[in-house]
Structure 1
């Protein structure tokens, strides 16, 4: 510390007493004094204080915990990649990732976001939004850039009064839309030797209501393609009685069953279908067939069930953080955790890819507007494919690649998912042809 700085520190601030000196001024001089005592220059201390804080809100526990199963593995990879800091312009920044568990509660997610913004002063928020856009809403209100994923863009945008034509100032999202999944399902069903009747079961919650809406959801796409829609009404989350739906599907000779279920609900539907002698030829189900554990619990009945694919190790893409191919990422996860890979592994990895890329492209990661502008113009090749926030036709949203897939039992009797239909994403190779269910 120079003699002048020492003298200034001991003198009252201009226009008032010493007690009125600002906290920032005191901390600056105190830090400089400590540096002088330690033999470190104030310039070195200033450089070491360049920090980027990234908040990450995730359902680590609670009913949505399967979406976060790969989080620890992904975070370990990302933290290793940035452990020496990252260079932006001529400055090196230390990176802190502050992880918070929302416990699968929308209200808790909102409160955690407010805390990370107001207490921890995060520069960027990353979030899973299967529960809804609570985190994004806090970020928009407080001027903090946010990137989220893991929910249909409609269920992210419309609950907070967003307009696809104008978007938002600070918040961004990447995932598929209802139209994308409808296109995948129609691609799976095309040319199959089955009746043109679709039996629909949608859960009575935010994603189920969004996907099953008769005007804005998937049903209009099915109707336009010439399918007869058969529905007994939405079911309450957690129900274990689907007898009304099954009786109707039997009566209407429904060959194709679709809808959105949690894994226990779908297990109940499958069990009751067998008991009631109902055997559809196609079962294309959202959410319940996403995670290997839930599919494995169905046993041999899972063989031939179908769903959309957001990501698999068969995708022909690479990580912008680690350089790993999708296959290498999946193999590394399996060998490290001794667990089967899950689709969120690729999607959440891509979430951190977009976050780091935006911070680097901003030129000033501590400037919220600079970071938001970097996301707004981002085109980035990730482990799930190219993310492009400029050309989806929906402001602040990038679509992801989605293909059709089918679960088949391997030689050990364990389910594996294969890409069977790729009209919606032709760059993703088909792995095997689609086959009708033998039984449900």
Structure 2
């Protein structure tokens, strides 16, 4: 495993680290063809160079048969690219598939040879967010949406007129107000605030970090303006908490995508554990509030195990890569099907719509506002706007 144990992505590494420790004894005696499965990891240090070095160590020192990772905008591509160069199967998640696939240089006729991924798409995010936007006003009108987008990969691909977020949002009838993208991390977002206020925008959407989202909300408040709803797709997997000074956290009341919760009707393909049981085990073991990436971290090991046990030769990396590309399995993240696409190397994760609201067990909890495309997922709250 290439996992962030230090640096700014360490909180994203927690679920994968937990799953590694939880699953190691379960998989140890279940290797294919008499072989044993050994789980090992290296710290990516939350940076691209650390990610490349982690892959080099896993291949050179551990003779890794497959590398799995959950990572960020810079780290995940670095892990996948290093595996592609080394000829080692790689499985990853938590990164919109268009950014993963097209952003790394593949196209419809030239897929990757070694690297595989499961996640949602920017188009899926747009559909879920449009569901939320259209609840702000029950008149049936399509409100304009202010776009708080950075100049990095997610902001750039969100603006893509064909494959990004913008194309789906416009197809749903929403006019997008798009100031110039900001450099991340932002030092000021006054121009965005002014553009949205002058255009009488009620809804803002973004892929900002928590830090930049907090800056935007603070500068908007200074100018006496606040949107009725903010939707954000990045860093919203992590539960907000009330600050020491009592201020509301940046994520409070923000609508976001929901890909895994204890309420999801998913279970393990390895031992039958349900999503609710996994979440409860995590919270009791760590003492921390459960994170959405936990379900995807678990599914990474499920799919890796499936590939190892279905490969014609579990000692041959090319055979393992072929098994990944042929995988269709029900997992802790739902049905993952690489035989269906949308492009080679990619399987999709179904999304629902949610909002961070004051909770009963924790400061804030993720209310499921719309089940989206997740069959059997209960709605647990109503959308709250200002």
TM-score normalised according to structure 2 size: 0.92
> Secondary structure at 1:95's aligned position in 2?
coil
Aligned mates of 1:412, 1:355 — CA distance in 2: 34
Counterpart position of 2:2: 57
CA separation of 1:290 and 1:356: change in aligned 2, threshold 3 A = same
Q: Aligned partners of 2:212, 2:130: CA distance in 1, in Å?
A: 24
Determine the structure 1 residue equivalent to 2:299.
350
Is the Cα contact below 8 Å between 2:58 and 2:64 reproduced in 1? yes
Q: Distance in 2 between matches of 1:302 and 1:120?
A: 40
The answer to whether the Cα contact below 8 Å between 1:65 and 1:104 also exists between their aligned partners in 2 is yes
**Which residue of the partner structure matches residue 91 of structure 2?**
147
Residues 280 and 96 (structure 1), Cα distance of their counterparts in 2 relative to 1, 3 Å cut: same
Displacement of 1:138 in angstroms is 2.4
Aligned twin of 2:381: 432
CA drift at 1:140: 2.2
Residue of structure 2 in register with 1:41 after alignment: none
Determine whether 1:201 maps to 2:148: yes
Q: CA deviation at 1:97?
A: 1.7
Distance in 2 of aligned mates of 1:408 and 1:144? 42
Change (3 A) 1:348 1:189: same
Match of 2:78 in 1: 134
Provide, for residues 201-240 of structure 1, a one-character-per-residue CA deviation record: whole Å limited to 9, x for no partner. 1122222322233453212222222212112211121224
Q: Supply the distance in 1 between the matched residues of 2:36 and 2:152 (Cα, whole angstroms).
A: 41
What 5-or-longer segments of structure 1 have no aligned partner?
1-55
Post-superposition offset of 1:382: 0.8
Q: Distance in 2 between matches of 1:179 and 1:259?
A: 14
Is 1:82 matched with 2:27? Answer: yes
**Could you say which structure has the larger radius of gyration?**
1
Give me the whole-angstrom Cα distance separating, in 2, the residues matched to 1:201 and 1:270: 11
1:32-431 equivalent positions in 2, closer than 5 A: 56-83=1-28, 85-88=29-32, 91-130=33-72, 131=74, 132-193=76-137, 196-293=143-240, 296-297=242-243, 299=248, 302-411=251-360, 414-431=363-380
TM-score of the pair, normalised by structure 1: 0.81
Map Cα deviations across residues 387-414 of structure 1 (whole Å, 9 max, x no partner): 1100123111100111100111125771
Aligned partners of 1:399 and 1:178: how far apart in 2?
11
Equivalent pairs, count: 378
Gaps of 5+ in 2: none
Aligned in 2, Cα 1:209/1:63: closer, same or farther, shift over 3 Å?
farther
Deviations 1:171-202 (A, max 9, x none): 21111111111111112222431761101111
